[in-house]
Amino acid sequence: MSGAPLLAAENLVKTYNGAPALSGVSLTVRPGESVAVMGASGSGKTTLLHCLAGIVQPDAGRVRLFRDAALPVEVTALKDDARSALRRRDFGFVFQQGLLIPELTAGENVALALMLGGTERRQAEQAAAGALAALGLAGMEGRRIGELSGGQAQRVAIARAQVTGARMLFADEPTGALDSSTSAEVMRLLLQTVQGSGRALMVVTHDSEVARWCGRVITLADGVVVADTAGASGVRR
Ligand SMILES: Nc1ncnc2c1ncn2[C@@H]1O[C@H](COP(=O)(O)OP(=O)(O)O)[C@@H](O)[C@H]1O
Ligand SMILES: [Mg+2]
């Protein structure tokens, strides 16, 4: 796909206790792209996603975010505080489970993402209700996470990931705990948030069905990219 990058990684290297998890990964993600990351267990998928998202610092290499095409932010050069702030503002996360706070309601979980960025509570709750309604959860903002089905909880996670206006969404096995029809629905909603929005999605998955719905599939083996191809749903230029 042509056009300006949104996120670019160069030569990422990460070693854990002498064992390489990433051995020189370079890739560019552009607005509008949906990228599946596949590979055997232990191939470095989660490490790559965490390095790209500024959760883990690579030992070498750099990650740049092109919030402004002419003025990229070097994520890997930021101190911890600045990286946390960038994560809250520019990145959205949907993980298999565990990121939603079970004691809070659906609306509070989504509103919290905005409040952490400084939005006032009432305004955050209004925006949260709107984001939930757009994902088919109108009127459910008062339910606690435990009172929702797995698919509904993932929709809350999607709402939370997108309500801040973050342009880069990361998902790690977002459908890993769901049955196949709920998986399809969650993936449809995730991909819908990317289409025509200037956002991009990177989704780690074991599920080749999930990968097929993405525009591009990157395959890792032993910490290196061994394939980077168009998915069934998209044409890569
Ligand atoms: N926090 C960590 N501490 C030590 N080793 C880790 C850690 N995270 C990942 N690893 C190791 O790095 C390699 C890649 O792991 P990971 O990125 O989680 O792979 P995947 O997501 O593809 O299953 C594995 O050998 C794993 O054991
Ligand atoms: Mg993993």
Please report which confidence band the pLDDT of residue 98 belongs to, taking 50, 70 and 90 as the band edges: low
- CATH code of the domain in which 33 resides: 3.40.50.300
Among 81, 89, 116, which residue's Cα sits nearest to residue 101? 116
Question: How far apart (Å, rounded) are the C-alpha atoms in residues 141 and 144?
Answer: 8
Q: Is there a domain that residue 138 lies in?
A: no
Residue 154 in contact with ligand 1 by CB distance below 6 A: no
117 lines ligand 1 (CB under 6 A): no
Q: By alpha-carbon position, which residue is closest to atom 11 of ligand 1? A: 21
Q: Report, as an integer, the average pLDDT of 165-190.
A: 87
Per-residue pLDDT of 203-231, as tens digits, reads 999 888 888 999 999 999 999 999 999 87
Q: What is the pLDDT of residue 236?
A: 43
pLDDT for 123 beyond 60: yes
pLDDT band at 66 (very low <50, low <70, confident <90, very high): very high
Q: What local confidence, expressed as pLDDT, does residue 99 receive? A: 78
Q: Which amino acid is at 217?
A: V
Residue 129, pLDDT above cutoff 90: yes
Does 76 sit in the ligand 1 pocket, CB within 6 Å?
A: no
C-alpha distance across the termini of the chain, in Å: 4
Residue keyed to tokens 């949907």: 94
Ligand 1 atom nearest the C-alpha of 50 is 17
List C-alpha distances in Å: 73 to 7, 67, 117, 173, 198. Answer: 10, 7, 18, 27, 18
Distance (Å) of CA 169 to CA 47, 72, 219: 16, 18, 19
Domain of residue 58, residue span:
7-102+167-230
Residues 40-66, mean pLDDT to the nearest whole number: 97
Q: What is the C-alpha to C-alpha distance for residues 213 and 210, in angstroms, rounded to an integer?
A: 6
Count up the domains in the chain and report the number.
1
* 199 CB near ligand 1 (under 6 Å): no
Q: What are phi and psi of 94, to 5 degrees?
A: -130, 110
In the reported structure, the alpha carbon of residue 142 is separated from the centroid of ligand 2 by a whole-number distance in angstroms of 32
Q: Is residue 70 part of a domain?
A: yes
